[in-house]
Structure 1
Amino acid sequence: MIAPPSSPAIVKRAADSASAPAPSSVDSGVLREISRRVLWLSAAIVDAANRGRPNHSGVKVGGHQASSASMVDIMVALWFHSLRGEDRVSVKPHSSPVLHAINYLLGDLDESYLTTLRAKGGLQSYPSRLKDPDTVDFSTGSVGIGATAALWAAIAHRYTRSHFADTPVAGRFVSLLGDAELDEGAIWEAVADPQVASLGELLWVVDLNRQSLDRVVPDIQIERLQGMFAAAGWQVVTLKWGRFVCDLFERPGGRELRSRLEEMPNEEYQRMLRVPGEEVADRILSGQGSVELRDLVTSLTTVELGRAVRDLGGHDLPLLVDTFDGANDHRPTVVFAYTIKGRGLATEGHPNNHSALLTEPQMRQLAEACGIDTTDPWATFPAESDAGRLCTRRAEALARPATTPTDPVSVPTSLGHPHRKPVSTQAALGRLLADVVRDAPELAARLVTCSPDVASSTNLGGWINKTGVWSVKERHDWFADDRERVLRWSESESGQHIELGIAEVNLVGLLGELGTTWSRWGQRLIPVATIYDPFVSRALEPWSYGIYAGGQSILVGTPSGVTLAPEGGAHQSITTPSIGLEQPGCIAWEPAFAQDLEWTFLHAASQVGVPGGTSAYFRLSTRPLDPELANTPQDPALLERRRRQATAGGYRLSNHPAAEDDVTLVGVGVLMPEVVEAARVLAEHGVTAGVVCLTSPDLVFRSFQQRGRRETTGNPSGDVVEDLFPAHAAAPLVTVQDGHPHTLSFLAGVRGDRIRCLGVTDFGQSSDLDDAYALHGIDVTSITDAALTLAGR
């Protein structure tokens, strides 16, 4: 059942000998009293959601009483002894009722919320730092991702402290996670990042209850997990047994008892928890064992033997307190705490208890065991009691000062540089960032870039040369005297670029936490991450999680589309334009020209790291475009008008009024040269084609959706859809994008126009650019043909 560790890097607590006495400052009796109350409250919160309020839909409300029960003692040891106000904790998603129960006892949650789990305006199904009414440090729910958020928050805090001296001090960053979460790749990508081994403020506690959602885990392979953490430089602590059973292990027959318990399969151990107490001895002996083992087992009462087999390290409060207080602060620590899923409930140890709900009689049984009067289920401790006084002291100790926001940062609307030479939007971004250091130093000081080992190939070299690379600790630059080096890779705590390994999940995990520093510590950052656009899909869930949790940032996908023709289908993105349009809390941009990128990027930066702000996604390309195609006005007033149009979502390139269009060509991003050329060819055939350049189909869609609504949705683009497609000037539409064509299909509904959507619907292949565009039907010939057909020619 429980395999002994073998690595010398692994610390064993209460496993090979009787545990040390509890620290004198810990009153284990009071902690146990609080633990019983938290167990009851967490179960009652779920019970009230399912049996205590009307449910007319017939859909199960649900909850996780068993998963909460296994975490109760771990969380009580933390909140009622070990945590400090400056600590931040990520709570296992299925243990949210325990967090709310604890916050209630600490006076951080009003009683009225205890019956509102999973109800509108009530307690969220999983911890949410933006939507729950009490203190929640990290949103969780995406298994594995919420646990790693605390790790990235630690790096974000270190970065912020190294650049802004008035950043508040932080304490430990704690993650409470279930053992099944260790199956998630996001966990190991984060653990293996080289910088993590230096983060002594990290503490992870694994609730090792040996059950997943559907089953008892047949082989937890604890040694393998321990070894993987140890190999990454972590201190590994394993809490197998509590003090009571450890005392038995020291008695004659005790070593054999321990071997029997540790060698039995997980399933056998779980089954033993479910049988009547008088059967436990027979199951342990199972027709075998020495005389000493039999004497030891039979000398124990049924109650004592039942207590012994349940006496796991994750339920020994003094042992937990001692472990948390003694964690190494020079490297990250992971604690494997053996627990029982459903500990103390009627469903304890049942293989199908994950979502099981206690019946009414079982709830009454639990109330009796916890000393609760069911006529007053939400009772707190009397203020003058030992438990009440501890709750008061801990509430005071965990109180946090209000966050003082950063002084406003001046973000210019334009840098004022002319764009005269053909350039790609990817290269234009690199130049923009490098220019900001000189032209807008206040903005530059708040910018931080990161990439998954693609900084140079996404044109961040100029920015890095001017600002340096940030590292947890100073590193010697052995190439500083190499005159042939173009990219100066100087790593220090003063740098402003953070380089990660080739792990896109890590990238957006860090991006999200860099984007929360304004709300966590009052220091505004504007984080910008570059990623190869085809890999946005790989990073989608953790990126979405970061936005959901309140992180505001800018994600740059580049290069993109089949325009990256020679790289072949493996590096050609298709669905990302649609992903950007559909992502909540984010505005998607795909500017065609360098000037448009400058305007839209600065506009997006102004919206990051502020109350009510938003994230942004830029889809860029490596194909150089001639700025002359944009026909950018020279007159200052007209230039400002164009800037406003670009930041609203798009503008018309045509010189004639929209009412004269026989057909309207709508282009996005890198395909604007083909759209403009197709309009010229159509003119030779007597067809007047209007040309619309969209910088953000996302904003145009929002404008379309807002039409006719009585309430506004805060759409920053205003009525751009009317400006681009006026109701009085109906004309067939041909839309063109280096991405899936359905992204722009909504434009048919603006005026009821006939439409033909051109784009990429199949995997690409290696080719030159002309062949790639012809293959997917987004070349000049295809655009012209679609327009002539719609125009009846």
Structure 2
Amino acid sequence: MSVDSREYAVSTEAPQQAAQTTPTAAERTTATAPTDEQTLREIARRVLWISTAIVDAANRGRVNESGVKFGGHQASSASMVDIMVALWFAELTSADRISVKPHASPVLHAINFLLGELDPSYLSTLRAKGGLQSYPSRLKDPDVVDFSTGSVGIGATAPIWAAIAHRYLASHFPTTAEAGRFISLLGDAELDEGAIWEAIADPAVPQLGELLWVVDLNRQSLDRVVPDVQIHRLQGMFEAAGWQVVTLKWGRLISEIFARPGGDVLRQRMEDMPNEEYQRMLRAGTDQVVERILGADPDPQLRSFIADISPQTLTAAIGDLGGHDLGLLVDTFRSIDNDRPTIVFAYTIKGRGLPTEGHPSNHSALLNEAQMTELATASGMSLDSPWQPLEPGSAAAKLATRRAEALRRPVVAPVGRLTVPPSFDRHYKSAISTQASFGRFLTDLTRQAPEAAARVVTTSPDVASSTNVGGWINKTGIWSPTERRDWFADDAERLLRWSEQTSGQHIELGIAEVNLVSLLGELGTTFSRWGERLIPIGTLYDPFVERALEPWSYGMYAGGQSILVGTPSGVTLAPEGGAHQSITTPSIGLEQPSCIAWEPAFAQDLEWCMLEAMSQVGIPGGTSSYFRLSTRPLDQAIARVPEDEALRERRRRHAVAGGYRLTDHDPADEQVTLVGVGAMMPEVVRAAEALGRQGITAGVVCLTSPDLVFRSWHRRGNLAAAQSDSDIVDVLFPSEHPAPIVSVLDGHPHTLSFLAAARGDRIRCLGVTEFGQSSDVDDAYRLHHIDEASIIDAALGLLGR
């Protein structure tokens, strides 16, 4: 590889490096045998054909009665073929984990097919039920996919958080399997996503030398050729974040021409050419290439230099970009050491090798039958029989066999048993908020269930102390990949001991909720990646759940299981006003797949529900949880937790099923049912007492999880539901005893509107629908009509009084 063909823009100061978990470049070169470039080119041609045919089969080869296009991205796949062939067939090890840009999923499936990891019957099933997913999916695709990447930008950053998760595992559990590189393949347009920059700006990231990003720099987005030349800005931004920056702009053919006497004038012309002009030149014929290189105002020196080069050679040279030079790519990947994160900007052409090559509108363009036939002929394939393996006995087939064996991973051992107790048997007497109870719960956990506590890892975006994680941190410490000196250890006035060590169990991030939930997702996949169970718990301010919603949802879609604690919540944090209140988060939690939403009112409920949530994290078939907590201290006597052991256990079962009845009268005597959630329970109970003084029997239902109650109701009449599924909705709202319902929560009222259908009752749903303002709690409740008087008024209205 010539020096001229690789441009470096590397920071001169490397950050402090933690203990390496990845092989060095020399070790990787030793582990991977030299590869013939011509053999790689043969494989690349086959991968280009199969990936293109996968999309073609989904569109031209499938009956479509709905009129909704199947779609696919032939051009976006084509630009990635050479990069991915260089990695899979020459560089990757079985320990590497790799994230593939969404629109290149056909390339991934084509490679897996050639490696024997995907049955050919799937190749015609892109975007069909039970077939290949539209974008790489770790849980839903039938072949090996390391990261789900349908959420642009989010999937690209996932390897960062997976690297941190593995480092955490390795520092706590010595038997953890070794890891290799954590690689992201992403498109240049993907760098517009804010999640990218939030991730690389986190202070922990520059220490992760096992990170390798490769940018498919095809300079096109969905609608256009990206204007201007942005590479220098991008290089500088990654440099400033502590990354090693490698740029593969030109391949070796054109680099050799540049190196000739006078070739610098051609290089300068090509370097100064706007993206749009370059793309148009790619679409021009050989007879136009000289004229287009010279441009509107030809440089005499340039004219003289290219006069000695044939138009055919010039045509080949102008398309000779670094991202399509297989030998250069392999040499580059093998030469990168792991002293810091590395990003490789690999210049490519969108649609490389296809009739749509370089066209500004090629993003979703599909080749027609004639074009597919032409491509098949050029590839030595047949449109009638597109799924042919590599020729048995050929150098390409032998290489595929060797690489398949090298990439084969051991089966992840089943997760060991871990007992999470259902209860601490603690009795709560004094007034306390659920947020404060959460802090006490964590410290109790280290004493009551040390084995479970050892698997807990907490994380927060710079709000650990204000979300009551301080006691836990004092007991377990802050996790750091390297030991760091605590300069405040001798400060007697400090309450929070910020001791950073490899044995710590709290990971503190910068103020970026997206990073928090992304890390939670990867911490929550360790049981399936490396066979070690973690119970990740993240805390953030509840109003900011919405800011983190997409990556939070992505993590669960990709199989991550964790517990997210949002606190403080609602308008109950009255003095903060509208800037720091959450309205829709209860509904978000209820609607989020693969997650149970909880909003316990009392400390005892929190303990029971949190232990139940922990028992479901980090296991096959498990689930995530979201807890919405409050800073409002509540009198724990309101909960009326039974002292009798059997009745107490009955209350616990109801609490973890979704809710319980606070009143003990016969539901047949009930004239109205008041339903409360979380911090609203004092108002609900007082309203019931006031109604009782007027001769109206009001039942009180406390919901710990509207989500679980909704599921119980939604399963009614579903023959597919298991008989063991909870019937808590019938316990709380017995169908034989209908009564009007008033529901109230510190959140949007529609969250509980489904309760009207539980037994066909009339209902009034009280909640928050407007932005608030600074006030005290009583004023806030009156402002939003969730105070005691409003609850009484709603009940009387339903009763016609």
Q: Could you say which residue in structure 1 is the equivalent of 2:20?
A: none
Alpha-carbon contact 1:10-1:238 (below 8 Å) kept: no
Which of 277, 281, 292 is 1:268 aligned to? 277
Alpha-carbon contact 2:10-2:246 (below 8 Å) kept: no
Q: How far 1:253 sits from its partner (Å)?
A: 3.3
Measured against aligned partners, the alpha-carbon deviations of 1:608-655 in whole angstroms (never above 9, x if no partner) come to 000110000000000011110011000000000000000000000012
The 10-residue stretch of structure 1 (366-375 or 80-89) with the greater mean CA deviation from structure 2: 366-375
Does residue 741 of the first structure (1) align with residue 749 of the second (2)?
Answer: yes
- Secondary structure at the counterpart of residue 448 of structure 1: strand
Q: How far 1:221 sits from its partner (Å)?
A: 1.4
- Secondary structure at the counterpart of residue 508 of structure 2: strand
1:463-482, aligned counterparts within 5 Å?
A: 463-482=472-491
Does residue 571 of the first structure (1) align with residue 580 of the second (2)?
Answer: yes
1:300–1:569 Cα change, 3 Å: same
CA distance in 2, matches of 1:329, 1:4: 18
Q: Which amino acid is 1:452 matched to?
A: P
Alpha-carbon contact 2:136-2:148 (below 8 Å) kept: yes
1:415-434, aligned counterparts within 5 Å?
A: 415-434=424-443
CA distance in 1, matches of 2:215, 2:664: 65
Does residue 720 of the first structure (1) align with residue 728 of the second (2)?
Answer: yes
- Secondary structure at the counterpart of residue 69 of structure 2: coil
Q: Which amino acid is 1:599 matched to?
A: W
Q: Could you say which residue in structure 1 is the equivalent of 2:519?
A: 510
CA distance in 1, matches of 2:518, 2:544: 14
Alpha-carbon contact 2:211-2:342 (below 8 Å) kept: yes
Q: How far 1:714 sits from its partner (Å)?
A: 8.5
CA distance in 1, matches of 2:273, 2:392: 46
Q: How far 1:183 sits from its partner (Å)?
A: 0.6
Alpha-carbon contact 1:591-1:620 (below 8 Å) kept: yes
Does residue 770 of the first structure (1) align with residue 770 of the second (2)?
Answer: no
Which of 73, 94, 103 is 1:64 aligned to? 73
CA distance in 2, matches of 1:32, 1:714: 57
Q: Which amino acid is 2:67 matched to?
A: G
Q: How far 1:370 sits from its partner (Å)?
A: 1.8
Does residue 584 of the first structure (1) align with residue 586 of the second (2)?
Answer: no
Does residue 784 of the first structure (1) align with residue 787 of the second (2)?
Answer: no
Q: Which amino acid is 1:81 matched to?
A: A
Q: Which amino acid is 1:749 matched to?
A: A
Alpha-carbon contact 1:699-1:715 (below 8 Å) kept: no
CA distance in 1, matches of 2:202, 2:412: 30
Q: Could you say which residue in structure 2 is the equivalent of 1:755?
A: 763
CA distance in 1, matches of 2:378, 2:46: 10
Q: Could you say which residue in structure 2 is the equivalent of 1:18?
A: none
The 10-residue stretch of structure 1 (441-450 or 214-223) with the greater mean CA deviation from structure 2: 214-223
Q: Could you say which residue in structure 2 is the equivalent of 1:558?
A: 567
Which of 164, 169, 188 is 1:160 aligned to? 169
CA distance in 1, matches of 2:489, 2:373: 72
Measured against aligned partners, the alpha-carbon deviations of 1:729-774 in whole angstroms (never above 9, x if no partner) come to 1000000000000000000111111100000000010000000000
CA distance in 2, matches of 1:139, 1:353: 24
CA distance in 1, matches of 2:753, 2:588: 14
1:8–1:198 Cα change, 3 Å: closer
Q: Which amino acid is 2:746 matched to?
A: D
Which of 674, 696, 712 is 1:665 aligned to? 674
Measured against aligned partners, the alpha-carbon deviations of 1:392-417 in whole angstroms (never above 9, x if no partner) come to 00000000000012310110000111
- Secondary structure at the counterpart of residue 70 of structure 2: coil
Q: Could you say which residue in structure 2 is the equivalent of 1:9?
A: 11
Measured against aligned partners, the alpha-carbon deviations of 1:68-123 in whole angstroms (never above 9, x if no partner) come to 00000000000000100000000000000000000000000000000000000000
CA distance in 2, matches of 1:163, 1:364: 56
The 10-residue stretch of structure 1 (306-315 or 279-288) with the greater mean CA deviation from structure 2: 279-288
1:262–1:484 Cα change, 3 Å: same
CA distance in 2, matches of 1:315, 1:60: 31
Does residue 34 of the first structure (1) align with residue 43 of the second (2)?
Answer: yes
Alpha-carbon contact 2:6-2:247 (below 8 Å) kept: no
Q: How far 1:605 sits from its partner (Å)?
A: 0.3
CA distance in 2, matches of 1:726, 1:463: 42
CA distance in 1, matches of 2:58, 2:339: 43
Which of 235, 238, 251 is 1:226 aligned to? 235
Alpha-carbon contact 2:45-2:379 (below 8 Å) kept: yes
Q: Could you say which residue in structure 2 is the equivalent of 1:84?
A: 93
Identity %: 70
1:576-615, aligned counterparts within 5 Å?
A: 576-615=585-624
Q: Which amino acid is 1:166 matched to?
A: T
Alpha-carbon contact 2:9-2:246 (below 8 Å) kept: no
1:361–1:714 Cα change, 3 Å: farther
1:764–1:442 Cα change, 3 Å: same
CA distance in 2, matches of 1:696, 1:642: 14
Q: Could you say which residue in structure 2 is the equivalent of 1:619?
A: 628
- Secondary structure at the counterpart of residue 743 of structure 2: strand
Alpha-carbon contact 1:91-1:177 (below 8 Å) kept: yes
Q: Which amino acid is 2:368 matched to?
A: T
1:427-466, aligned counterparts within 5 Å?
A: 427-466=436-475
TM-score (norm 2): 0.96
Give the unaligned 5+ runs of structure 2: 14-31
RMSD: 1.6
Q: Which amino acid is 1:9 matched to?
A: S
Measured against aligned partners, the alpha-carbon deviations of 1:161-210 in whole angstroms (never above 9, x if no partner) come to 11011111010000000001111110001001111101010000000000
1:187-226, aligned counterparts within 5 Å?
A: 187-226=196-235
Q: How far 1:297 sits from its partner (Å)?
A: 2.4
CA distance in 1, matches of 2:397, 2:337: 31
Alpha-carbon contact 1:10-1:235 (below 8 Å) kept: no
Alignment coverage as a number of residue pairs = 780
Which of 481, 493, 500 is 1:491 aligned to? 500
- Secondary structure at the counterpart of residue 729 of structure 1: coil
Which of 626, 629, 645 is 1:636 aligned to? 645
TM-score (norm 1): 0.97
Q: How far 1:302 sits from its partner (Å)?
A: 3.2
- Secondary structure at the counterpart of residue 676 of structure 2: strand
Q: Could you say which residue in structure 1 is the equivalent of 2:19?
A: none
CA distance in 1, matches of 2:82, 2:312: 20
Give the unaligned 5+ runs of structure 1: 12-22
Does residue 336 of the first structure (1) align with residue 345 of the second (2)?
Answer: yes
- Secondary structure at the counterpart of residue 194 of structure 1: coil
Measured against aligned partners, the alpha-carbon deviations of 1:552-587 in whole angstroms (never above 9, x if no partner) come to 000000000000000111101000000000000000
The 10-residue stretch of structure 1 (115-124 or 50-59) with the greater mean CA deviation from structure 2: 50-59
Alpha-carbon contact 1:10-1:236 (below 8 Å) kept: no
Q: Could you say which residue in structure 2 is the equivalent of 1:15?
A: none
Which of 679, 684, 697 is 1:688 aligned to? 697
CA distance in 2, matches of 1:500, 1:173: 20
- Secondary structure at the counterpart of residue 124 of structure 1: coil
- Runs (4+) of structure 1 exceeding 4 A deviation are 3-8, 713-716
- Secondary structure at the counterpart of residue 343 of structure 2: strand
Q: Could you say which residue in structure 2 is the equivalent of 1:16?
A: none
Measured against aligned partners, the alpha-carbon deviations of 1:687-732 in whole angstroms (never above 9, x if no partner) come to 110000000000000011100111106985x111111000111000
CA distance in 2, matches of 1:368, 1:722: 66
- Secondary structure at the counterpart of residue 81 of structure 1: coil
Q: Which amino acid is 1:781 matched to?
A: A
Q: How far 1:473 sits from its partner (Å)?
A: 1.5
Measured against aligned partners, the alpha-carbon deviations of 1:452-471 in whole angstroms (never above 9, x if no partner) come to 00000000011000000001
Measured against aligned partners, the alpha-carbon deviations of 1:591-615 in whole angstroms (never above 9, x if no partner) come to 0000000000000000000011000
Which of 257, 260, 266 is 2:266 aligned to? 257
1:288–1:713 Cα change, 3 Å: farther
Q: Which amino acid is 2:72 matched to?
A: G
- Secondary structure at the counterpart of residue 692 of structure 1: strand
CA distance in 2, matches of 1:387, 1:714: 54
CA distance in 2, matches of 1:275, 1:232: 40
CA distance in 1, matches of 2:11, 2:449: 49
Q: Could you say which residue in structure 2 is the equivalent of 1:103?
A: 112
CA distance in 2, matches of 1:124, 1:145: 17
CA distance in 1, matches of 2:294, 2:620: 64
CA distance in 2, matches of 1:613, 1:567: 36
Alpha-carbon contact 1:6-1:223 (below 8 Å) kept: no
